[in-house]
Amino acid sequence: MKKFVALLLVLTLCLSVCFTASADVADVKLGVILLHDENSTYDLNFINGVNDAAAALGLSEDQIIMKRNIPESQECTDAALDLADEGCTIIFANSFGHETYLLDAAKQCPDVQFCHATGTRAHTEGLDNFHNAFAAIYEGRYLAGVAAGLKLNELKEAGKLKGEKPLMGYVGAFTYAEVISGYTSFYLGAKSVCPDVEMKVQFTGSWYDYNEEKNAATALIAANCDLISQHADSMGAPSACEDANVPNVSYNGSTVESCPNTFIVASRIDWAPYFQYIVNQAAAGEAIDVDWTGTIDTNSVVLTAINEQAAAAGTAAKLEEVKAALVAGTTKVFDTATEGFITVGGEALTTYMADVDTDDAFTPDTEAVADGYFHESEYRSAPYFDVRIDGIELLNQMY
Amino acid sequence: MSEQKKTSVHEPLFHLAKRSSVNPVRATLIRVAAIVLGMVVCGLVAFVLIEKLNQNPGKIGDFYNCFIKGSFGTERKLWKFLKNMAVLQCISLAVTPAFRMRFWNIGAEGQTLMGVLGSITVAFYLGGKIPEWQLLILMFIAALIYGAVWGLIPALFKAKWNTNETLFTLMMNYVATYVVSYFLVIWVPSGSSTLGKLKFGKLPPLPFGNQYLLIILIVLALTALLFVYLKYSKQGYEISVVGESVRTAQYSGINVQKVIIRTMVVSGLLCGVAGYLIGAGLDQSVTTESVGGQGFTAIIVSWLANFNPLMMIVTSGLISFLNSGAAQISQDFNVSGALPDVIVGIILFFIIGCEFFINYKIVFRKSEAAGKGVTK
């Protein structure tokens, strides 16, 4: 009898624990503010992240409210306050320009948690309920770069390079740290397996402009680039590559369906782990990190399936090996210790003051090079690597 | 005409005839009917497009309720609706004087954007260096100058060389966008082209009431002013005469070039005010999207109101109401952001379409024998 009672007690305890845990998640209501809608690959990536996290946590439909097409203006503050009125306990916004307006709403609603992707101000504003998040996408770019380097090696061995040295082209949006960090890590990934590679970068001055991106890629191909990659959200560059039969390493998602002959692999940020994290923290009543940086280890940075038709032989195995080294920390993306890997004006990079704390004058404030590597995304979540290194030629800038 | 036609061998099944007079009661009834019909069609389209609806048709009530909820659901939504309406109304007022003159100014988007840029330029360079009240006055003056100059340029070309004002003002919109992009590059050395909210140059709210009340009152006052200007002032009369016939105006001694230039400057000034309300009153920042297409929506608002500033309160209210309702539908039914555009587009189609039936009637062949037009 005693055993039975004990068993019953234990069972009740277990059940109650399970019950309270799920009841807590049921109390969370997530409001999501999106700059555009499903038609933008950038926003679609966030919508997919929310839906995946909701499925994993068992959130019901009425626990999530999405506001689409919210511009970077007072509209964002209004939208956030409206979500708070609707009972949201966490409010998330996905565009860089939303930040100052979301901060306003955060000051007015101290009981609601505000999370902002790609922003830079959480660690200096000192609000308890305002948080920034990003992912160490440079790890994904580096891996994608390795795949590119292997492809260049294959072309070189087959004598199919357009010039004497392997040359990559890169279509970037703005001359901004996020983009610079992205193309530099991509270049370094390629350089780690193909040491004599060089790269040209063309900026478009827009995050989404099909024609500009296609024109930039076409111009780079005409300038003898053997392979193209991009940091912009349209299909412009990938389709230019498919037309010209030039290999392409993509971003945000696989383009294999429209580019079966040229798509190699793509890197992207998976936001689902972050949404799961903030919902769980809010449910447990725990604080959300002021700056949260997802990594390749937490599955926040992922690569799509490799297109064997375009990729060099042995790419998958090599990527597994490099990924393991990145996770273990034995390989650093921005490795300043290895001689000749990162140089600026022929000199090794031994010191760099990065602009980590956003102020009106954008003054550099933090030493980022230490222990033989550049500490990207460690002092805040958003990228701040904006060094112009040797081997990369910027065809234009200042957008 | 119809007598002659009767003798012809073949007569079409129906033909269109302009109504000799427009009965205001009937016109209003037709407009209301058009909105109701548009709403019904929206419901049908929604059934096809919204998964949640065709799985659960009982939710159609929620669908229509979204229109009410979007604008009047909470006190905050109500004020936001009134604020959106006020800004749209202000830009609509701005395009009106030129339209009454038959000067097809579609450059309100760019003129307003320049107004925002003007006020933010002052706030960016002088913010924190001079007292806030002085800053706000200088921002206002800059917004007026920027808006007026952007309206003046196409007017000068029209008056001197008779250039096409529609193409010219449209082009000026793009130029304004690139001017803003240019300054964002200069002002934001980190390269993100995102200025963010500035710390200085915020139009203070009234000591009582909602934060948006001041903006709403300013626009109401402007509406009354413009109504009086157009209806009772000599300049307003000159605008109407030029709009009716340039030759009549010339014959009666009106300096048409001067009227064109002066009226476009008035339009530009009003756009400058709208830009100031956006820049200093709301966003405290400028982006290429600061006006967000309202400069084009204002054309419909003004046209639907028959270029009457008082009627524009109704039409700008209607458009804002539809926009908030459609956004609420996108939110509550979790559907793509393109759906609101579809819904607003359908209703506008019916509203604009009904103007045709107010001004014309359809006369059927058989009814002509009876000498009576069957109207639809």
Q: Provide the chain A residues 9-38 that lie in CB contact (below 8 A) with chain B.
A: 34, 36-38
Distance CA B2, CA B368 (A): 8
Write out residues in chain A with pLDDT < 50, as ranges: 14-23
Distance CA A44, CA A48 (A): 6
Question: What are the residue ranges of CATH 3.40.50.2300 in chain A?
Answer: 19-136+271-294, 137-269+301-327+384-394
Find out whether B124 and B286 touch, Cβ atoms under 8 Å.
Answer: no
* Angle B108-B110-B113 from CA coordinates, rounded to 5°: 105
Which among B116, B187, B192 is the top mutation candidate for probing chain A, defined by the most A β-carbons within 10 Å of its own β-carbon? B192
CB-based contact, A379 to chain B, within 8 Å: no
A204 backbone dihedrals φ, ψ, rounded to 5°: -105, -20
Please give the average per-residue pLDDT across B195-219, as a whole number: 95
In this structure, what token pair is assigned to residue A104?
């306003």
CB-based contact, A335 to chain B, within 8 Å: no
| Closest chain B CA to residue A31 | B331
Which among A38, A125, A174 is the top mutation candidate for probing chain B, defined by the most B β-carbons within 10 Å of its own β-carbon? A174
The CATH number given to A137-269+301-327+384-394 is 3.40.50.2300
Instruction: Dump pLDDT digits (tens) for B90-124.
Output: 999 999 999 999 999 999 999 999 999 999 999 99
A19-136+271-294: CATH class:
alpha beta
Instruction: Dump pLDDT digits (tens) for B316-343.
Output: 999 999 999 999 999 999 998 788 889 9
Non-local (6+) Cβ contacts of B353 within 8 A are: B34
- Residues in a beta bridge with B18: B360
Q: Please tell me the total number of residues recorded for chain B in this structure.
A: 376
The pLDDT of residue B2 is above 60: no
- Residue-averaged pLDDT of chain B: 91
Cα A253 to chain centroid, rounded: 12
| Band of residue B210 on the pLDDT scale cut at 50, 70, 90 | very high
Q: What pLDDT shows up at residue A10? A: 56
Q: How many CA atoms lie within 13 Å of B206's alpha carbon, on the beta-carbon side?
A: 10
The ipTM value here is 0.90
What is the count of residue pairs from A and B with beta carbons less than 8 Å apart? 86
Q: What pLDDT shows up at residue A1? A: 56
The pLDDT of residue B18 is above 70: yes
| Closest chain A CA to residue B125 | A360
Instruction: Give the predicted TM-score (pTM) of the model.
Output: 0.89
| Band of residue B21 on the pLDDT scale cut at 50, 70, 90 | confident
Find out whether A384 and A355 touch, Cβ atoms under 8 Å.
Answer: yes
Residue with tokens 């917004």: B143
The pLDDT of residue B243 is above 60: yes
CB-based contact, A298 to chain B, within 8 Å: no
Instruction: Dump pLDDT digits (tens) for A206-252.
Output: 888 899 999 999 999 999 999 999 998 788 999 999 999 999 999 98
| Band of residue B53 on the pLDDT scale cut at 50, 70, 90 | confident
- H-assigned helices in B162-255: 165-187, 213-232, 234-244, 246-251
Q: What pLDDT shows up at residue B9? A: 63
Distance CA B49, CA B314 (A): 30
